[in-house]
Chain A
Amino acid sequence: MIRANAICKSFAGKQVLSGIDLDIKPGMIFGLLGPSGAGKTTLIKIITGQLGFDSGDVTVFGKNVSDLTGTDKKQIGIMMDDHGVYDRLSCTDNLKIFADIYGIPHSKIISALEEVGLKDAAKKPAMKLSKGMRARLQLARVFMVSPKILFLDEPTSGLDPMTMKYIHKLIQNRKAAGCTIFLTTHNMEEATELCDEVALLNDGKIVDRGNPSEICRRYNHRKAISIHLKTGEDIRLPDGIESADKISSLLKQGKVETIHSSEPTLETVFIELTGRKLENDAEARYA
Chain B
Amino acid sequence: MTIHLPIVWNELLRLGRRRITYINRTGPLLIALAFLSFAMAISWYTDEIFTPSPETFGSFMMFLVAIIEVLTGFSAPMVACATLTDEKDENTLGLLLMADLRGWDVVLAKFVSVFLLSEMLLLSAMPFIGFAMIFGGVDLHTVGMHAAMMTSFLIMACAAGTYFSAVSPQSGLAVTQTALLLGLWFVGTSYVDYNSAAWGLPIGQPALGVLTPIWGASGIPLAQMLPGVFLNMIIAAACLFEAVRILPRQIHARADAPRTAKVRGSERGRRWARRSSEPLAKLAASSLRSMGFSRRSIPMRILAFLGLLTILMFPVAGLFMLWILVFRETILALKKAREQGALDDLVLVPVSDEALGVAFWRGHTCATRMYFAAIVIWFAFYAWFMQFDRNGVRMLLIFLPITIAAHINVTALSCVAGTARFRYGMTGSLWAYLFVGGAVIGLLMPLYVEYLIGMFPTTRNLVYRTGAGYTVLAIAVYIGVNVLGHLASALLAVRCLGGRLRRCAGLQGT
- Do A and B come together as binding partners? no
